[in-house]
Structure 1
Amino acid sequence: MFRPPLALASLSGEADADWARAGADYAGAAFLGGIALDEGSRAAAREMVARDRNEFLPEDPVGFIDRQLAALEDAPIQPAFNVRSATPEPVVDAARVCRDRDAFLEINAHCRQDELCAVGCGETLLRDADRLCEYAERAAATGATVGVKVRAEVPGVDLATLARALEAAGASFMHVDAMDTESVIADVVDASDLFVVANNGVRGDETVREYADYGADAVSVGRPSDNPVVLERVLAAVDRHLRSDLETASSR
């Protein structure tokens, strides 16, 4: 899906085109965003800004996605955009832009801030599999490559079951914040043919090796994604534990 199998994970209000370009020497993909698309999610983002969080709040969020992706047209990295919405229609609009820019669309079912959950975004969407699958199905119907960012350890949510449902809805990948349950990666890998990106605590050889052993197709780096020392160390681990496995599999 992307090489090397190392991604930069979105950082709220910080993960833009310049950030992605700065990491292009190390990563195969960059998930820009997240960005709030509709009235409810944007109101929640404004509330979070009021309590000192960074958020992207351009006047035209879909236009912002288009401009940011256009700025990466000549960058040697696979772009993707993480989006939040309490309604499906803006996700479809964003998917069309991602399709036209050869970018991936990532539906955010991950964030757990109270403001986002109150309007039906983030983790609330994760708890509503039917609605999340509707988002994925409608976005994938545009021809875009669509995936979902999720987190483990959410009561009542079985990620393996969800992975099967999302695959049936047309999703291509799942970006999994494993929290403290790294073995959940194996559950998702065994349950579906989705491309699985493992996230949480990826800092070097030990974590990359563990996620590789659980069957992850790629790993992602979050908070240190702007730190070249960390990225260089993770890339070296990816070369040891992930890239050779993918190359062997593709040659069969």
Structure 2
Amino acid sequence: MSRDAASDPPAPLDFRPRVVLASLSGESDADWARAASEYAGAAVLGGIALDESTRAAARELVARDRTEFLPADPVAFVDEQLAALDGVPIRAGFNVRTTELDPLREVAAVCRDRDAFVEINAHCRQDEMCAAGAGQSLLRNPDRLCEQVETAAETGATVSVKVRTEVPGVALPALADRLETAGADAVHVDAMDSEAVVGDVAAATDLFVVANNEVRDEASVREYLAYGADAVSVGRPSDEPAVLERVRDATTAWFAEGVES
């Protein structure tokens, strides 16, 4: 689907079931999302490096046997991948890493026109990406992160930011409040071993909160939703139907009970 950016407001980040397929760099493409679409309401493709600094970092990651998407034209790649999901009943997003604003602006516009959301990566902790000034390093530089959010939001795109807990010196609830002010619609929280922080973030903002990390079964789903998450996401097991079915069924049951966060 596509929409006219001049006439329609950005779509809120809402979907059913409230399960997100979380991006796995170099693996999460349109085929991956299509294969699991019966279990999830949304899928984040990517991540993808957009500018030369992050692409150089991605090439270094590939050199040490990590997987990365490195197309000749990242913006065209995002458009092609999102177009391939036309007609698939899933809300698509694209996780991006950049140090420059122009390619972010271009990709955000593509996501807007494809009824997808753009997810700014403030999550990757690989040394190469952090040294380039992207990924987790943005959590310690909130001015730059908010600048990226503002740039993406100005296009009319729906904007999510992926973050992680347990980064020394970073107070996620306060940061989430700043991201909301900058124009973000959602925050995707990798809880690590600090699940309660999801509740702190949910209490601090009106952002749509997606909780991630070790979401595998009914117990993990209900824990995150009880903290106030609006949805949960599944990463590594996103190609395991048995796990996805458990997560989908538990999430659907939670909201059927009327326990809206």
After TM superposition, the score normalised by the length of structure 2 is 0.93
CA distance in 2, matches of 1:21, 1:131: 34
Instruction: Classify the secondary structure of the residue corresponding to 1:245.
Output: coil
**Is 1:56 the equivalent of 2:69?**
yes
Tell me which residue corresponds to 1:33: 46
- Mapped partners of 1:61, 1:230: distance in 2: 31
Separation in 1 of the partners of 2:49 and 2:250? Answer: 34
Alignment of 1:121-132 (within 5 A): 121-132=134-145
Change (3 A) 1:243 1:88: farther
Distance 1:244 1:238 in 2: 10
Q: Could you list the per-position Cα deviations for residues 124-171 of structure 1 after superposition, in whole angstroms to 9, with x for gaps in the alignment? A: 111111110010011001000001000000001111001110110110
Cα distance change of structure 1 residues 46 and 243 upon mapping to structure 2, 3 Å threshold: farther
Quote how far apart the aligned CAs of 1:240 are: 2.1
Q: Which residue pairs with 2:35 in the alignment?
A: 22
Alignment-derived partner of residue 24 in structure 2: 11
* Match of residue 258 from structure 2: 245
Report the Cα distance in structure 2 between the residues aligned to 1:115 and 1:33, rounded to whole angstroms: 17
Over residues 60-104 of structure 1, what are the superposed CA-to-partner deviations in whole Å (9 max), with x where a residue is unaligned?
Answer: 000000000000011000000000001222111110000010000
Cα separation, 1, equivalents of 2:100 and 2:141: 13
1:176 is aligned to 189
Q: Map residues 112-123 of structure 1 onto 2, 5 A cutoff.
A: 112-123=125-136
SS of residue in 2 equivalent to 1:83? strand
3-state SS in 2 of match to 1:143: coil
- Residue of structure 1 aligned with 2:103, choices 83, 90, 104: 90
Q: Which has the larger displacement, 120-129 or 216-225? A: 120-129
Deviations 1:188-231 (A, max 9, x none): 01100000000000000111010011000000000000111110
Give the deviation of 1:113 after TM superposition.
0.2
SS at match of 2:149: helix
1:243, CA displacement in angstroms? Answer: 5.0
Runs of 4+ deviating beyond 3 Å: 242-246
TM-score (norm 1): 0.96
Q: Percent identity?
A: 66
Q: Aligned to 2:258, what secondary structure does the other structure show?
A: helix
Q: Which residue of 1 aligns with 2:94?
A: 81
Identify which of 183, 187, 195 aligns with 2:200.
187
Instruction: Note the alpha carbon deviations across 1:95-124, whole angstroms, 9 max, x for none.
Output: 000001000000000000000001001011
2: distance between equivalents of 1:129 and 1:7?
A: 25
| Shift in alpha-carbon separation, 1:97–1:222, aligned structure 2, 3 A | same
Unaligned runs of 5+ in 1: none
Q: Distance in 1 between matches of 2:136 and 2:27?
A: 21
RMSD value, Cα: 1.1
- Tell me how far apart the structure 1 counterparts of residues 112 and 256 of structure 2 sit (CA, whole Å): 26
Instruction: Report the number of matched residues.
Output: 248
Q: Which residue does 1:143 correspond to in 2?
A: 156
From 101, 107, 110, the counterpart of 2:120: 107
Distance 2:49 2:213 in 1: 23
Distance 1:90 1:243, change over 3 A: farther
Q: Hey, what's the Cα distance between the residues in 2 that align with 1:245 and 1:212?
A: 12
Secondary structure at the aligned position of 2:125 is classed as coil
Contact 1:217–1:242, Cα closer than 8 Å, also in 2: no
CA distance in 1, matches of 2:88, 2:25: 21
Gaps of 5+ in 2: 1-13
1:43 to 35, 40, 56: 56
